[in-house]
């Protein structure tokens, strides 16, 4: 049954149905509505057997969950942007210790300059932490991914980050189908930790590992993350059988049949992108879309399979590595070695990505006039003027 509900509240409802035992968070926009709603549920007593802990920082939030997860409790938090960076050391630690924590990342830009609006820079900064990173296209998918995330995390003993666009999704009110609690219970069994901090069977967790074994430990974690490429579609299929809804998985194609040009993207921009592609298809252009749901582990084979017949690939993404190119573009270019992959950076710091701009971009891709790397709707004149001004004041010849 569809309920009109804000994205953040829908996430809180979904997380509550997963019966978390410890929820710990530090407030940061645009994640606040999620933790406020869960906090209220715990305070009212609606969420039985759950501890909600307000802490002094994101670093403490993730650290508390490291403790609670190691002691066998299903553990959840949410953060964004600077908060993710502030907890990053603990984010690595959680993955290194194999603790199946689930975290919502309400994607937001990273400062300076400080900016609270949406892009994917925060998720990219956590790319190498060893977490599974899933991206939601809609609030419905975000809700479904959270339920899948707990199952995935606990099956693999790997933490999972569910990325959803800040404000665009977190603060959008739209119809969402919330799975009944008994269905969630059937899908998600109680947490059985792989390793437990327990005086009845004392173990040392988090020992120091030197050069003689560190590489092997890291490779084993890498292989376990690659195992997720099998587990994610399996969990998505099981979820679909239960809910009747296809959500998540590795990648999802849209109008890729006989496509000459495909645009690869992640998150909520996929909706606008599909509209743009529909419009270009009306003009007779053979274009399609590939949505990447699983960013880490990177589903290289699935990307290659989906784009096997496509001549030109555009990667549209809300982050880049300064001095380099798009982050997702680099992954896709590696997967499609030898083919033309152009990188379009869009929506930084919440800049709107309009359907009109996307239609133009797809048109240029079809015409073959898209440069190797470009920024959508960039004010070129302003950039040029500022470079000229700074150059002149410092006496630098340009």
Partner 1 sequence: MTRVPIRFYQVGSFAVGNRLLEDEDRTVQSDPQRTNSIDSGHRACQGCGEALGARYALDAAMRATNGQLAVVNATGCLEVFSTPYPETSWRIAWLHSLFGNAPAVATGVAAALRVKGRDVRVIGQAGDGGTVDIGFGALSGMFERNDDVLFICYDNEGYMNTGVQRSAATPPAARTATTDAVGPEPGNVFGQGKDLPRIAMAHDVGYVATATVADLHDLEAKVERAMSLRGARYLHILVPCPLGWGSASSDTINLARLAAESGIFPVFEAEHGVVTSVTPIRRRVRVEEYLKRQKRYAHLFGTQPRLEVIARLQALADANIARYGLVNDETTNATLED
- Residues lying near partner 1 in the complex (CB under 8 A) are found at 21-22, 24, 49-51, 53-57, 59-61, 63-73, 75, 89-90, 93, 97, 197-199, 201-210, 213
Query: Quick one: 93 or 157, whose CB is closer to partner 1?
Result: 93
Query: Quick one: 210 or 395, whose CB is closer to partner 1?
Result: 210
Q: CA-to-CA distance for 226 and 252, rounded, in angstroms?
A: 19
CA angle, corner 325, sides to 320 and 328, nearest 5?
A: 65
Query: Quick one: 45 or 395, whose CB is closer to partner 1?
Result: 45
In the complex, least distance from residue 25 CB atom to partner 1, rounded to whole angstroms: 13
For residue 113, is the peptide bond before it cis, meaning its omega torsion is within 30 degrees of 0? Answer: yes
In the complex, least distance from residue 235 CB atom to partner 1, rounded to whole angstroms: 25
In the complex, least distance from residue 93 CB atom to partner 1, rounded to whole angstroms: 5
Query: Quick one: 89 or 238, whose CB is closer to partner 1?
Result: 89
Hey, what are 244's tokens?
Answer: 């009747």
In the complex, least distance from residue 108 CB atom to partner 1, rounded to whole angstroms: 23
* Alpha carbons within 13 A on the beta-carbon side of 368: 3
Burial status of residue 338 (CB atoms within 10 A of its CB: 0-12, 13-18, 19 or more): exposed
Query: Quick one: 6 or 21, whose CB is closer to partner 1?
Result: 21
DSSP state of 112: S
Buried/exposed code over 369-380 (b: 16+ C-beta within 10 A; e: otherwise): ebeeeeebeeee
Q: CA-to-CA distance for 143 and 148, rounded, in angstroms?
A: 9
In the complex, least distance from residue 373 CB atom to partner 1, rounded to whole angstroms: 37
In the complex, least distance from residue 210 CB atom to partner 1, rounded to whole angstroms: 7
Do 34 and 11 form a contact (C-beta atoms < 8 A)? yes
In the complex, least distance from residue 51 CB atom to partner 1, rounded to whole angstroms: 4
Do 147 and 184 form a contact (C-beta atoms < 8 A)? yes
Query: Quick one: 29 or 195, whose CB is closer to partner 1?
Result: 195
Q: How many residues does the chain have?
A: 398
Q: CA-to-CA distance for 353 and 359, rounded, in angstroms?
A: 11
Query: If phi over 0 gives left and psi between -120 and 50 gives alpha, with beta otherwise, what is residue 98?
Result: left
Do 298 and 331 form a contact (C-beta atoms < 8 A)? yes
DSSP state of 212: T
Query: Quick one: 62 or 314, whose CB is closer to partner 1?
Result: 62
DSSP state of 157: T
H/E element, 126: none
In the complex, least distance from residue 161 CB atom to partner 1, rounded to whole angstroms: 18
Query: Quick one: 135 or 191, whose CB is closer to partner 1?
Result: 191
Q: CA-to-CA distance for 195 and 294, rounded, in angstroms?
A: 26
In the complex, least distance from residue 270 CB atom to partner 1, rounded to whole angstroms: 36
Tell me how far apart the terminal alpha carbons of the chain are, to the nearest angstrom: 62
Query: Quick one: 93 or 357, whose CB is closer to partner 1?
Result: 93
User: Which residues face 6 on adjacent strands?
Assistant: 173
Hey, what are 328's tokens?
Answer: 């997702």
In the complex, least distance from residue 72 CB atom to partner 1, rounded to whole angstroms: 6
Query: Quick one: 71 or 279, whose CB is closer to partner 1?
Result: 71
């Amino acid at each position: 049954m569809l309920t009109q509900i804000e994205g953040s509240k829908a996430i809180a409802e979904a997380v509550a149905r997963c019966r978390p035992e410890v929820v710990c968070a530090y407030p940061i926009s645009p994640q606040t509505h999620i933790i406020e709603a869960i906090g209220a549920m715990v305070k009212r007593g609606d969420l039985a057997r759950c501890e909600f802990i307000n802490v002094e920082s994101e670093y403490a939030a993730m650290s508390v969950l490291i403790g609670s997860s190691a002691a066998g409790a299903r553990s959840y938090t949410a953060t964004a942007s600077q908060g993710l960076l502030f907890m990053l050391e603990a984010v690595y630690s959680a993955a290194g210790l194999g603790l199946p924590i689930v975290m919502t990342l309400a994607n937001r830009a990273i400062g300076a300059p400080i900016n609270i609006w949406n892009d994917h820079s925060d998720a990219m900064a956590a790319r190498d932490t060893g977490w599974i990173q899933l991206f939601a296209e809609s609030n419905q998918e975000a809700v479904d991914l959270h339920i899948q995330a707990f199952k995935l995390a606990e099956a693999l003993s790997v933490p999972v980050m569910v990325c959803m666009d800040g404000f665009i999704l977190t603060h959008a009110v739209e119809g969402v189908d919330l799975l009944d609690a008994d269905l969630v219970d059937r899908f998600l069994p109680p947490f059985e930790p792989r390793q437990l901090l327990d005086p009845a069977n004392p173990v040392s967790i988090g020992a120091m590992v030197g050069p003689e074994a560190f590489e092997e430990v890291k490779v084993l974690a890498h292989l376990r993350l690659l195992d997720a490429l099998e587990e994610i579609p399996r969990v998505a299929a099981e979820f679909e059988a239960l809910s009747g809804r296809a959500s998540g998985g590795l990648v999802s194609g849209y109008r890729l049949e006989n496509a000459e040009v495909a645009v690869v993207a992640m998150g909520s921009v996929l909706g606008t992108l599909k509209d743009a592609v529909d419009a270009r298809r009306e003009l007779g252009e053979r274009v399609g879309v590939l949505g990447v749901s699983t960013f880490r582990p990177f589903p290289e084979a699935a990307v290659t399979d989906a784009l096997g017949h496509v001549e030109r690939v555009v990667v549209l993404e809300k982050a880049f590595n300064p001095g380099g190119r798009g982050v997702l573009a680099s992954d896709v270019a590696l997967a499609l070695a030898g083919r033309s992959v152009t990188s379009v950076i869009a929506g930084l710091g919440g800049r709107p990505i309009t359907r009109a701009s996307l239609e133009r971009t797809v048109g240029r891709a079809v015409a073959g006039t898209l440069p190797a790397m470009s920024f959508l709707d960039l004010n070129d004149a302003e950039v040029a003027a500022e470079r000229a001004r700074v150059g002149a004041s410092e006496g630098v010849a340009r």
